[in-house]
C-alpha cells in the first residue's frame, strides 16, 4: 500500500505497533505498560488513577508553553470479535492487518481501530516537530467497551485541561456533540431439567452468518440478531414437534449485535425430518427478510453427538422460548426533537446456560434518562414474568449537547475554511465518554471526531486510510488556534 500523506504513514506506523499488543476490554495492562515505556523514552511525564486510566503529559511547543492544556482522549481497550472459523487468540496473537484499496481491515477479526487509531494519532502528534500545540494531556481510559468503566471511575483530579478532543467517532466531517446514555441488565431464568427421553436424537441448531455490528450506531439498520433468529425457529419448532433444549448460547459483548447463536436440542427420531423441513423453511423466510442487511444469514439443523444426559423439561423449554421471543430488541423510539436519531433502543446481546439457569445480557440506550429507566423496567418485568430475576447496573448518563460551545464554533469555522464544506454536527445513539467526563469536570468544553470507520465491533471493521490523514490535519490546525 503506497501511502503518500506523511502524517497518515506516521499514524499507521504506530497503529500497527498497537495491533501487536493484546488489549481486550478489562485486559489493558500490556498496552498501558507499553505506552508508559514510550512516555519514559520521550521524557513525557504520566499519571494513572486507581482504575488504571492513563494520562501522558506532553509539553507545549515553542510559544505555547503557557497555554491551557488540551486533552486528546481515546480508550485503550477494543472489542474482540472474530469469525467462527478464525483461530485467532486475542490474548496473545497480533491482529493480522489487511490493506484493501482505500481501507485498512483485519483478517477475520475486529481491527481495533476503535479506538487504537486515537492512541496512534495522539502518539504521532506528540512527536510531530512541525505541530504547534498547547500542552497536551493524552487521556487513555480503560474498559470503555463494556460499560465506560474507566470514564465512570475517572479520578476527578487527574486532568488539568478544560478543552477535550475525543477521537472516538466514526465519520470524518461529522462533529459529535451529544450521545445516548446506557444501562446493562443481567437476567437469570431458572430451568428444570430431566433425563433425555428414550429414543430422542441430539441435533445442533445454528443461526449464523449475520453481519452484527455496533449495538448503538447500527441498531436502526435493522440487522438480524442471531439470538432472535434462533428464537424464531425454536418457537416454530415447539409448536410443531416435541423439542427439548439441552444447551443454548449466542452473542458476545453488550455493544455488539449478535452474529451467531446455537442450541443443542433433542428431538424424537420420527420428528427429525419434520424439524429439518421447518428449519429449511425458516431459513428461506429469514433470508428473504434480511437479504439487504444480512445476505449470508443461514439456519441449519444437523444431528450431532452431545455429551449431556439432561434436557430442559417441556415446560422449561417453552418458557425459555417465550421469554426470548418477548424480550425486546432493536429501536424502541425515535427522537421527537432530532430527525433520524434513535432515542431509545435495546440490544439482546448474549445468552448462555450454566448452573441450572439461563443467563441473558441486554444493553439499553436512550438520550432521555427517564425513558432509559422505563425501557430497563420493561426488560426487568419480562424477566419476572418468565419466573426469573433481573439485575441492572448503574448505567451512564447521556451527553447533552451544548450548541453554544466555543470549541464547536471554532471547530466548525476552521473545518469549513480547510475543506470548503460545512461539517455535520450531530448527536449519536451510542455511548461516548464525554458525557461522563463532563460530569466529573464542570466546564469541560468537548467535541468528538474521528476518521471513517465501518462495521465496528465486528470482523468486518475497517477504517478509511485517507480519512485518517484528514482528521490528523484538522486536529493539527485546531491545536494551532488554541493558544
pLDDT at 172 over 90: yes
Share of the chain above pLDDT 70, in %: 100
Share of the chain above pLDDT 90, in %: 92
Q: Is the peptide bond before 218 cis (omega within 30 degrees of 0)?
A: no
pLDDT at 306: 83
Maximum CA extent, the chain = 83
The conformation of residue 327, written as its DSSP 8-state character, comes to: S
Asked if 122 and 167 count as a contact pair (C-beta separation under 8 A), the reply is: yes
What would the grid cell of residue 174 be? 461529522
As annotated, the residues of the chain forming the CATH 3.30.70.360 domain(s) are: 183-392
**Helical segments of 395-433, H only:** 406-419
Which residues are paired to 181 by β-bridges?
366
The conformation of residue 221, written as its DSSP 8-state character, comes to: G
pTM for the whole thing?
0.81
- 16: which residues sit within 8 A by CB, 6+ positions away? 97
Instruction: Report residue 431's pLDDT band, with 50, 70 and 90 as the boundaries.
Output: confident
C-alpha count within 13 angstroms, C-beta hemisphere, residue 234: 33
Which residues are paired to 136 by β-bridges?
58, 70
What would the grid cell of residue 449 be? 471526531
- 105-122 mean pLDDT: 98
pLDDT at 1: 60
pLDDT at 166 over 70: yes
Name the burial class of residue 133, with classes exposed (0-12), middle (13-18) and buried (19+) by CB atoms within 10 angstroms of its CB.
buried
pLDDT digits (tens, 9 = 90+) for 358-391: 999 999 999 999 999 999 999 999 999 999 999 9
pLDDT at 307: 85
By DSSP bridging, strand 70-75 and strand 136-141 are parallel
As annotated, the residues of the chain forming the CATH 3.40.630.10 domain(s) are: 6-180+398-481
What would the grid cell of residue 316 be? 422449561
Radius of gyration of the chain (CA): 24
| CATH superfamily ID and name for 6-180+398-481 | Zn peptidases (3.40.630.10)
Which residues are paired to 200 by β-bridges?
268
- Would you tell me which CATH number, out of the four given (3.10.20.600, 3.30.465.10, 1.10.260.40, 3.30.70.360), belongs to the domain 183-392? 3.30.70.360
State which H helix or E strand residue 372 sits in: helix 369-385
Q: What is d(CA 82, CA 96) in angstroms, rounded to the nearest whole number? A: 12
Q: What is d(CA 25, CA 29) in angstroms, rounded to the nearest whole number? A: 10
Give the residue among 153, 183, 162, 194 at the shortest CA–CA distance from 48: 153
- 328: which residues sit within 8 A by CB, 6+ positions away? 346, 348, 375, 378, 379, 382
Please provide the average confidence, as pLDDT, over all residues in the chain.
Answer: 96
- Active-site residue numbers? 77, 144
Amino acid at each position: 500500500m503506497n501511502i503518500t500523506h506523511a502524517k497518515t504513514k506516521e499514524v499507521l506506523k504506530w497503529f500497527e505497533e498497537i495491533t501487536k499488543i493484546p488489549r481486550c476490554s478489562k485486559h489493558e495492562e500490556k498496552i498501558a505498560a507499553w505506552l508508559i515505556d514510550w512516555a519514559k523514552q520521550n521524557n513525557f511525564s504520566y499519571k494513572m488513577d486507581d482504575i488504571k486510566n492513563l494520562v501522558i503529559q506532553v509539553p507545549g511547543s515553542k510559544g505555547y508553553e503557557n497555554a491551557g492544556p488540551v486533552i486528546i482522549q481515546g480508550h485503550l481497550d477494543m472489542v474482540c470479535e472474530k469469525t467462527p472459523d478464525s483461530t485467532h487468540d486475542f490474548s496473545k496473537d497480533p491482529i493480522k492487518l489487511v490493506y484493501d484499496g482505500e481501507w485498512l481491515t483485519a483478517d477475520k477479526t475486529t481491527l481495533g481501530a476503535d479506538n487504537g487509531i486515537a492512541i496512534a494519532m495522539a502518539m504521532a502528534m506528540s512527536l510531530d516537530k512541525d505541530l504547534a500545540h498547547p500542552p497536551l494531556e493524552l487521556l487513555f481510559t480503560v474498559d470503555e467497551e463494556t460499560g465506560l468503566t474507566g470514564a465512570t471511575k475517572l479520578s476527578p483530579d487527574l486532568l488539568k485541561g478544560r478543552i477535550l478532543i475525543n477521537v472516538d467517532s466514526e465519520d470524518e466531517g461529522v462533529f459529535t456533540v451529544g450521545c445516548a446514555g446506557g444501562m446493562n441488565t443481567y437476567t437469570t431464568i431458572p430451568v428444570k431439567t430431566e433425563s433425555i427421553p428414550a429414543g430422542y436424537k441430539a441435533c445442533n441448531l445454528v443461526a449464523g452468518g449475520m453481519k452484527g455490528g455496533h449495538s448503538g450506531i447500527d441498531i436502526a439498520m435493522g440487522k438480524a440478531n442471531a439470538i432472535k433468529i434462533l428464537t424464531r425457529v425454536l418457537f416454530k419448532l415447539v409448536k410443531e414437534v416435541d423439542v427439548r433444549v439441552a444447551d443454548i448460547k449466542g452473542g458476545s459483548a453488550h455493544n455488539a449485535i449478535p452474529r451467531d447463536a446455537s442450541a443443542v436440542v433433542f428431538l424424537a427420531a420420527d420428528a427429525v425430518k419434520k424439524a429439518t423441513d421447518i428449519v429449511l423453511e425458516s431459513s428461506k423466510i429469514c433470508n428473504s427478510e434480511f437479504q439487504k442487511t444480512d445476505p449470508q444469514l443461514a439456519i441449519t439443523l444437523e444431528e450431532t453427538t452431545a455429551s449431556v444426559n439432561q434436557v430442559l423439561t417441556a415446560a422449561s423449554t417453552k418458557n425459555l422460548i417465550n421469554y426470548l421471543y418477548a424480550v425486546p430488541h432493536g429501536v424502541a423510539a425515535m427522537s421527537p426533537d432530532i430527525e433520524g436519531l434513535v432515542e431509545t433502543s435495546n440490544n439482546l446481546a448474549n445468552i448462555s446456560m450454566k448452573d441450572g439457569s439461563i443467563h441473558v445480557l441486554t444493553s439499553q440506550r436512550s438520550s432521555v434518562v427517564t425513558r432509559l429507566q422505563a425501557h430497563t423496567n420493561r426488560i426487568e418485568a419480562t424477566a419476572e414474568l418468565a419466573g426469573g430475576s433481573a439485575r441492572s447496573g448503574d448505567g451512564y448518563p447521556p451527553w447533552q449537547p451544548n450548541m453554544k460551545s466555543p470549541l464547536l464554533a471554532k471547530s466548525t469555522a476552521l473545518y469549513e475554511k480547510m475543506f470548503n464544506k460545512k461539517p455535520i454536527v450531530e448527536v449519536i445513539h451510542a455511548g461516548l465518554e464525554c458525557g461522563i467526563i463532563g460530569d466529573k469536570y464542570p466546564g469541560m468544553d468537548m467535541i468528538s471526531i474521528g476518521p471513517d470507520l465501518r462495521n465496528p465491533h465486528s470482523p468486518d471493521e475497517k477504517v478509511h486510510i485517507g480519512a485518517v490523514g484528514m482528521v490528523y490535519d484538522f486536529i493539527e490546525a485546531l491545536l494551532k488556534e488554541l493558544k
